[in-house]
Chain A
Amino acid sequence: MSDMRSISRSDSVLEDPGALAVATMYAQSYMTAAAAEGIAAPEEELNSLVDDVLAVFPEFEQLLMSDLVGRDDKLAIVDRVFAPKCSEFFANFLRVLVGHGRIEMLPQIKTVLGRLQEEAAGKKRIRVKSARSLSDASRSQIVNHLKNTFGFEPILQETVDASLLGGVVLQVGDTVYDSSLRSQLKQLKDRLVEKAFNEIQSGRDRFSHPEGD
């Protein structure tokens, strides 16, 4: 199940929404449990495991995520390798994941956890598409505007798309605000076409009713 890793995916290929929902559930429970235990920064250990261990030793990652290794063996690995080095809370979390056969979701849980913590801190990721890369001035203008309108701290994820011609396209959640030159030109074109269309129709109506308007 090594293809479940979301790190190397290209942007246009999407995660399985079902797996994402499961990862969200684990991340949420992890956060709530950490808060109940009074652990200040629960993401630290998780991030370090994914970034410092699994990313550095891909063979170890394969071992941990492979279906060829049984649950009991994986539990033993957790007990021998991780438990002595990390907090009891995190070791328990790993045991739960292994017990439920969800250990391969670790990288996804890490990503979701990061996003959840941002949301809890009143931040939100906004995708910004522009024709050219944004200047600092326009960037801060966008940030301020978003802050005033929506009341959260935006984190801009910028992409450059020359086909927009000008202007910006913002995506907040599932909603897209499109003020690009491309779509405005398309609007203008549609309007001109529609006008010509009405002209033709009224011309035709004149012919079909000889008594005239």
Chain B
Amino acid sequence: MKFKADEIASVIQKEIEDFRGQIQTAEVGRVIEVGDGIARCTGLSNVMSGEMLEFPNGTRGFAFNLEENSVGVVILGDYLKIAEGDEVRSTGKLLSVPVGEALLGRMVDPLGNPLDGKGPILTSSSRPVEWLAAGVAERQPVKEPLQTGIKAIDAMTPIGRGQRELIIGDRKTGKTAVAIDTILNQKDTGVICVYVACGQRASSIAGVVEVLREHGALDYTIVVAATSADPAPLQYIGPYAGAAMAEYFMYQGKHTLIVYDDLSKQAVAYRQLSLLMRRPPGREAFPGDVFYCHSRLLERSVKLNKELGGGSMTALPIIETLEGEVSAYIPTNVISITDGQIYLEPDLFWKGIRPAINVGVSVSRVGGNAQTKAMKKVAGSLRLDLAAFRELEAFAQLGTELDKDTQAQLDRGYRMVELLKQRQFGPLHVADQVVAIYAGTKGYFDKVPVAKVAETEKELHEFIRTEHADMRDKLVAEAALTDEIEGMLKKALSAFVARLASKA
């Protein structure tokens, strides 16, 4: 195709002829003080809280503090180019970000500007960053499962669509890994994922994006990135911007998953802003409304009722603790807001139990309703069995002679722990999880040496998939362990055990 210069010229000419300039009216003010990413302005007498403002060089900001004689403005961008005396214009609009299908597979900053060099984001719709969460009448209870693909979570702390499940733990305990595995497992389920990186190292964000791309998960994922090099205001609005992008899909009746990685850094960014704005500091120097900062964000995760399309937004906020201190300010706040938490422990991590989930203190307050029938049946007593095993294990360390039954219980416990280990980026389908946990709890692994459990489990999945695909398909379709399927499963497992014995 060739462009014709005169054709283009005539189109532009027509545009110019039809153009009727309008007088632009705007409220203005002037900058009296600027620094550290914030500005204080006079004028702007009718500005609204949270309204978007524009500085002369095109940098945007929003009204954060409305004071008697001045307005405190948070600058979203380069504040070094703003000088005292500059004119600030109000736009009459709330801070909003572009939303829509065009964002899928892209990496954007919290204002929706592309960061991945794949060209502009072509979408005409936008959504305010701050949005009031759906009310009570607009919701329905959480009842559909959101499979994480991680055995230990889906079996013992199940997550439902529309739930907020906190992932909490010290640094380097695999918090992000759990979230990424969950995103990977949403492939072909129609769940749209948003990964909000807030205050993370740019290199780790690049790593996450690379993993998502490699596993083909980027096609249904939006990455919102505010690195630790970005100014605090961007880190602060990042999670809200991500939530707005997910809400767009949710209100279309789709299912979404959003990961906030991590909210402790967002709280720190918010603390910085508040202190610069001279809001009074409270506990740990956080401002008084840091709880509201997180509660209004997480409250936006809902399961909508049928009239609104039945969409959902599942949130996986991440909180980093220091030395396992969960009673610090921000962890307790977010624990109390969310519908349960997955607690990751460094001790377990270094023992090689990965994901390093502490089963005893991890809970899910609503997910149980959302578990598939099959999983509920096989995993019902798993938590209690494991707890009993932990007690026995501690007792056994005293070196006491154990009777046969207790020894058997211990042996099965060791194998269960081994069975719940899972490699990173290897989410399992819920049917495979059911098979593995069923085999473990019913003792089909009792003869397998502990060190070989992982390998044998892999062989089992292979075996089921190739030789008992009909049973697996049925389990996938019905998502329940009916007598018929259980019978088939027992037969398949006995055949597997027999084969193992013959090999040995």
Report which A residues bind B (CB closer than 8 A): 11-14, 16-18, 20-21, 171, 173-179, 183-184, 187-188, 191-192, 195, 197-198, 200-201, 204
Report which B residues bind A (CB closer than 8 A): 12, 15-16, 19, 21-32, 42-46, 68-70, 83-85, 89, 120, 122-124
Inter-chain contact A187/B22, CB cutoff 8 Å: yes
Would you list 28 pairs from A and B whose C-beta atoms are within 8 A, ordered by A residue? A12-B83, A13-B85, A14-B30, A14-B31, A14-B84, A16-B32, A18-B69, A21-B68, A173-B45, A174-B27, A174-B28, A174-B45, A176-B26, A176-B27, A178-B24, A178-B25, A187-B19, A188-B19, A188-B21, A191-B15, A191-B19, A195-B15, A197-B122, A198-B124, A200-B122, A201-B122, A201-B124, A204-B122
A16 to B124, CA, bound (A): 42
18 more contacts with CB within 8 A, not counting A12-B83, A13-B84, A200-B122, are A12-B84, A14-B30, A16-B32, A17-B42, A17-B69, A17-B70, A20-B69, A173-B45, A175-B28, A176-B28, A178-B23, A178-B25, A179-B24, A184-B21, A188-B15, A191-B15, A195-B15, A201-B123
Q: Residues of A contacting B44 with CB < 8 Å?
A: 174
A127 to B124, CA, bound (A): 37
A27 to B373, CA, bound (A): 78
Inter-chain contact B21/A171, CB cutoff 8 Å: no
Inter-chain contact A171/B28, CB cutoff 8 Å: yes
Give chain A nearest CB distance to B33 CB in angstroms.
9
Give chain A nearest CB distance to B7 CB in angstroms.
13
A188 to B15, CA, bound (A): 8
Give chain B nearest CB distance to A184 CB in angstroms.
4
Inter-chain contact B42/A187, CB cutoff 8 Å: no
If A17-B42, A188-B15 touch, whether A183 touches B32 (CB-CB below 8 Å) is: no
A195 to B122, CA, bound (A): 12
A197 to B27, CA, bound (A): 29
Q: Residues of B contacting A16 with CB < 8 Å?
A: 32
A17 to B44, CA, bound (A): 13
Chain A, residue nearest B30 (CB): A14
A16 to B84, CA, bound (A): 12
If A17-B42, A18-B69, A192-B15 touch, whether A177 touches B85 (CB-CB below 8 Å) is: no
Give chain A nearest CB distance to B165 CB in angstroms.
35
Q: Residues of B contacting A13 with CB < 8 Å?
A: 84-85
Of the listed residues B16, B26, B83, the one surrounded by the most CB atoms of chain A closer than 10 A to its CB is B26
A18 to B40, CA, bound (A): 12
Chain A, residue nearest B70 (CB): A17
Give chain A nearest CB distance to B203 CB in angstroms.
32
Chain A, residue nearest B26 (CB): A176
Contact of B42 among A14, A175, A176, A184 (CB under 8 A): A14
Inter-chain contact A174/B32, CB cutoff 8 Å: no
Q: Residues of B contacting A17 with CB < 8 Å?
A: 32, 42, 69-70
Inter-chain contact A11/B23, CB cutoff 8 Å: no
8 pairs of A and B residues whose beta carbons are closest in the complex: A12-B85, A184-B21, A17-B69, A201-B122, A178-B24, A179-B23, A174-B43, A14-B32
Give chain B nearest CB distance to A129 CB in angstroms.
11
If A13-B85, A183-B24 touch, whether A192 touches B70 (CB-CB below 8 Å) is: no
Give chain B nearest CB distance to A52 CB in angstroms.
31
Q: Residues of B contacting A171 with CB < 8 Å?
A: 28
A191 to B120, CA, bound (A): 17
Give chain A nearest CB distance to B425 CB in angstroms.
29
Inter-chain contact A174/B29, CB cutoff 8 Å: yes
Q: Residues of A contacting B124 with CB < 8 Å?
A: 198, 201
Of the listed residues B19, B84, B89, the one surrounded by the most CB atoms of chain A closer than 10 A to its CB is B19
